[in-house]
Each structure stands twice: as C-alpha cells, then as structure tokens.
Amino acid sequence: MAARRLLVNSGHDVNGVLAGLVAELAAQGGLAAPQAYRLRLAADEITTNIACHGYRGAPGVIDLGGYAAHGRVWLSIEDDAPPFDPRGHHPDPRLSAEPPLRAAGGLGLHLALTVVDEFGYEHVRGRNRNTLVLHRERGGHRGATNDGGNDERYDRATRR
C-alpha cells in the first residue's frame, strides 16, 4: 500500500505530492492516461476542499493511502476536520441551469463525485475518510478519449 501524509496550508507542495502518488497508483493498477487524470482530479478536488473548507485555511493533516488490485485502484483520503460528507453537497441541479454559471462554488466536489467510478465516505475514529475508486477498463466512459482529440469530441463539447 502506498501512503503519503500531506501538510496542507503549510506552504508544502501538496499538489506535487498528490500527483506523484496518483501516478504511482495508476501505474500499479494499469490505468489508462484518462483514468489516471480523473483519479488525480478527484483527489485534488477533495484535498483542496478539505484544506480550504475543512481546515478553513489553517494548517492540517491529510493522509492518503492507496493500492491497486483486481483491475481497480483505491485511494483513501483521511482528515481531522469536522465531519463532512461530500455526497450531500452535489450541485448537479444548479450546474444544469442555463449558463453562465451563477456561481463557481461546488464545481470541485461536483467533478470529484462525477469522474470516479465509486465514491465512498465514512466518519471513522473521529476522522473523515473519502474513498475514490477507478476501474481499469471503462470503455466509452463519459465520452472522453485518449486519442489526442477529434472533431467529434468538439462537436459534443462546443456550445449548442
């Protein structure tokens, strides 16, 4: 099991450490580049949320632990901030409103909850534990490709 301790709001390169751990887990689990990207994005958003809102910008600890097995990669993110279940703060209805976005808040949690295959939360021994899971094979997931881009993708993505 790979593990790292992040000291957030302390001037440390949290993003760099996180990216390194995700790259390590993605390699162990055989994740394709788009899946590794999603795992990093989700982990980035969750840890950023913990640092900004859980610890309210004050120094704090976030413990990362991950492993790969049976075609899946797990990453747990634990912190000592007040209990917070991201699943209860999914802004889907607001994001589906007509653009421009009324507010940019909630984008990070929305992304984190959306890009992973499984998302778990529990409060154990006084800590928040978020668990992110990516499956190795996810053909056709959400339309992303790893072919360097094509016009079809932009047809989907371009303003309608």
Partner 1 sequence: MSVPPDFQAKLDVDDGTATVWLSGELDSRSAAVLDELVTRAVEQRVRRIVLLAGELTYLSSAGLRCLVFAHQKLGRTGDIVLVGARPEVAETIRLTGFDRAIVMQSRAEP
Determine the Cα angle at 102 with ends 97 and 107, to 5°.
85
Half-sphere exposure of 125 (CA within 13 A, CB side): 3
Residue 148 φ/ψ, nearest 5 degrees: 85, 5
Residue 126 C-beta: closest distance to partner 1, Å:
27
75 is a site residue for partner 1 (CB under 8 A): no
Residue 125 C-beta: closest distance to partner 1, Å:
29
**Region 10-39 residues binding partner 1, contact defined as CB under 8 A:** 11, 13, 15-16, 33-34, 37-38
CA separation for the pair 75, 80 (Å, rounded): 17
Residue 1 C-beta: closest distance to partner 1, Å:
25
88 is a site residue for partner 1 (CB under 8 A): no
Candidates 56, 71, 101, 118: give the one binding partner 1 (CB under 8 A): 101
Tokens 């390169």 belong to residue: 13
Residue 10 vs 82, nearer CB to partner 1:
10
147 is a site residue for partner 1 (CB under 8 A): yes
Q: How far apart are the first and last CA of the chain?
A: 45
